[in-house]
Amino acid sequence: MNGAIFFSSRYGSTEQYANWIGEATGLPVFHVDDANADPTKYDFLILGSALIFFRLIIRKWVKANLTDLKGRSKILFSVSGAGPGPKLDRWVAASLPESLLSKMDHVALRGRMDPKKLPWGLRQIMRIGALINPDSQASKEERGGFDYVDKSTIEPILKLVEQFQSSEMSS
């Protein structure tokens, strides 16, 4: 069984996680915009995506490649400010077709955001978002930034890859 990791990242944390998973599993890692990124060459796929403004940014690529992704996509990791929970589940469900999502294990990883590195316009949007966000912790993070990137949190993904590979070998 040969597998691969396909990711979409805007500010680098999803790419960092994808590379860590690639190093730990030996699977090749592709940015979805990479010209060599061909999901049909692989038996199983790990999809990784940043979550920006309540949606996974990989969704357009998924829609465009849905036929090739069906039957191959086994694990989804999302990277967001929000931690795992119903809110994140709703955003993920609104991003990807149920037919694909229902066949994947979802692992929610947490990313980073440094407002100082954002362009002025986006910084203002985050500031306004923080003012109207009823969740006080999320509001604080939108204003001041956060960094939850943690290599050890890929562990559940490594376990899933191991389980998946051993069950495929025995079948």
Ligand X SMILES: Cc1cc2nc3c(=O)[nH]c(=O)nc-3n(C[C@H](O)[C@H](O)[C@H](O)COP(=O)(O)O)c2cc1C
Using CB under 6 A, list all residues that contact ligand X. Answer: 9-14, 50-54, 79-82, 111-113, 118, 122
**Minimum Å distance from CB 101 to ligand X?**
18
- The two most distant CA atoms of the chain are separated, in Å, by 54
List of E strands, the chain: 3-8, 29-31, 44-52, 55-56, 73-80, 105-110, 112-113, 146-147
**Minimum Å distance from CB 34 to ligand X?**
15
Which residue has the closest beta carbon to ligand X? Answer: 111
Q: Are 49 and 8 in contact (CB under 8 A)?
A: yes
**Minimum Å distance from CB 164 to ligand X?**
24
Q: Which is nearer to ligand X, 37 or 52 (by Cβ)?
A: 52
* Cα-only R_g, the chain: 16
DSSP one-letter code for 111: -
Q: Which is nearer to ligand X, 67 or 116 (by Cβ)?
A: 116
Q: Which is nearer to ligand X, 69 or 141 (by Cβ)?
A: 141
Q: Which is nearer to ligand X, 3 or 111 (by Cβ)?
A: 111
**Minimum Å distance from CB 165 to ligand X?**
26
Number of Cβ within 10 Å of residue 146's Cβ equals 17
Number of Cβ within 10 Å of residue 171's Cβ equals 5
Sign of CA dihedral 91, 93, 95, 100: positive
**Minimum Å distance from CB 64 to ligand X?**
20
Q: Are 45 and 39 in contact (CB under 8 A)?
A: yes
Q: Which is nearer to ligand X, 114 or 162 (by Cβ)?
A: 114
